[in-house]
Amino acid sequence: MSKFPRFGVWALVHGSRAALQDPEEPYDASWARNKALVLEAERLGYDSVLVAQHTINPHDPSLDQLEAWTASAALAALTSRIEIIAAIKPYLYHPVVLAKMAQQIEHISGGRFAINLVNAWNRPELERAGIGFAEHDERYAYGREWIAVVEALLRGEAVTHRGDHFRIDDYRLRPADPFRARPRIYVGGESEPARSLVAAHGDVWFINGQPHDDVSALIADVSARVRPAGREALRFGLSAFVIARETQDEAQAHLEHLFALAELDKPLRERQKANTDPKAVMHQTFARSARVGSNGGTAADLVGDYDTVARRIVDFHRAGIELFMLQFQPFEADMGRFAQEVMPRVRRLLGG
């Protein structure tokens, strides 16, 4: 693991992350906003952007939703340094088609592209498309076979595959990746099938925001698992919603403000809960504590004055977190504040 952590941001693919009815941050999931946000994140020194994949808005199907893969291709052409991570739900794309798309974006970006494999939890997205929503462990079995095919194709190998879901005959993609062996593969999910999948096929495991001791336990569990021969050690990322202010009182006041705003979204959250697979471990994790933000949000406790937030990030980094995938609200303003005030403090604490 590198001496210093990397920092990334979540693209606003379905608008605000903590509260959808915030007068300081009107709902906006447009391409124009996301393009400007990612270009600014790159200018500020952020290392990665995660573009989550939903074909319909997971909160309210009447709201806008950015499409992940076309947006990622465009971002690849517009940026010059930042890593672009596109989430993928395997049931939405055949592995041969997706591997070719990923390979193309890798070429457009000059070797800065990555896949984030997630197994869908939002039932209507698949059911209303006529795809069907398989049982939790079956989705992971499908995803494991799917990523095995994609990974081999991304390596430029000739693939012949006979499995439960795919039959592929002597398929090879060209041109091969001129920058590295293949794009990086991130994997999300914390269930037992997810942990097994990431140990077998992942380069980086994305952990949802939660307290330090819980994150350390997850890292210890997956680090102890057997990896295929020749693979590098697994690395770890953490999702977190950040509220960093000059004083602890200011940070706490903003957290309480966001909690109050989030109450206005309660009917949408209840609808989302009804559409969610109850076996999805991440939602069981979220239910353990009050929080704002998605994917664990403020449960990681990166809320406080600048020095406190920097120290907590260093503690997570020393526990094994390499990449912090961050959310803010108001997003653009707090993204800039974090880059200016917290990033330098983290480097100083780590001897930079």
Is 26 within a domain?
yes
Measured distance CA(43)–CA(40) in Å, rounded:
5
Report pLDDT for 305.
98
- Residues shown for the chain: 352
Report pLDDT for 349.
98
Residue pLDDT, tens place only, 97-121: 999 999 999 999 999 999 999 987 7
Is 118 within a domain?
yes
Measured distance CA(329)–CA(258) in Å, rounded:
8
Q: Identify the DSSP state of 77.
A: H
Residue pLDDT, tens place only, 164-215: 999 999 999 999 999 999 999 999 999 999 999 999 999 999 999 999 999 9
Residue pLDDT, tens place only, 233-289: 999 999 999 999 999 999 999 999 999 999 988 887 776 766 676 666 555 565 677
Most confident by average pLDDT, 41-45, 122-126, 189-193, 230-234: 41-45
Helical segments of the chain, H only = 31-44, 68-78, 95-109, 123-127, 136-154, 192-201, 212-223, 248-263, 266-274, 281-286, 306-319, 331-337, 343-349
Residue pLDDT, tens place only, 281-324: 555 565 677 899 999 999 999 999 999 999 999 999 999 999 99
| Across 8-12, 60-64, 237-241, least confident range | 60-64
Residue 20 main-chain phi, psi, to 5 deg: -85, -10
The rounded Cα 111 to chain-centroid distance in angstroms is: 19
Confidence of residue 129 (pLDDT cuts 50, 70, 90): confident
Measured distance CA(303)–CA(296) in Å, rounded:
13
- Domain count of the fold of the chain: 1
Is 1 within a domain?
no
Range of the domain at 151: 6-349
CB 17 within 8 A of CB 332: no
pTM over 0.85: yes
- Comparing 68 with 60, which gets the higher pLDDT? 68
Which CATH number does the domain housing residue 182 bear? Answer: 3.20.20.30
Q: What angle do CA 134, 187, 78 make, to 5 degrees?
A: 110
Report pLDDT for 199.
94
Is 19 within a domain?
yes
CB 60 within 8 A of CB 5: no
Q: State the average pLDDT for the chain.
A: 93
As to burial, measured by CB atoms within 10 angstroms (0-12 exposed, 13-18 middle, 19+ buried), residue 167 is exposed
Q: Identify the DSSP state of 342.
A: I
Per-residue DSSP letters for 309-330? HHHHHHHHHHHTEEEEEEE-SS
Measured distance CA(343)–CA(345) in Å, rounded:
5
Q: Identify the DSSP state of 339.
A: I
Measured distance CA(352)–CA(335) in Å, rounded:
21
Report pLDDT for 65.
93
Measured distance CA(324)–CA(240) in Å, rounded:
7
Is 184 within a domain?
yes
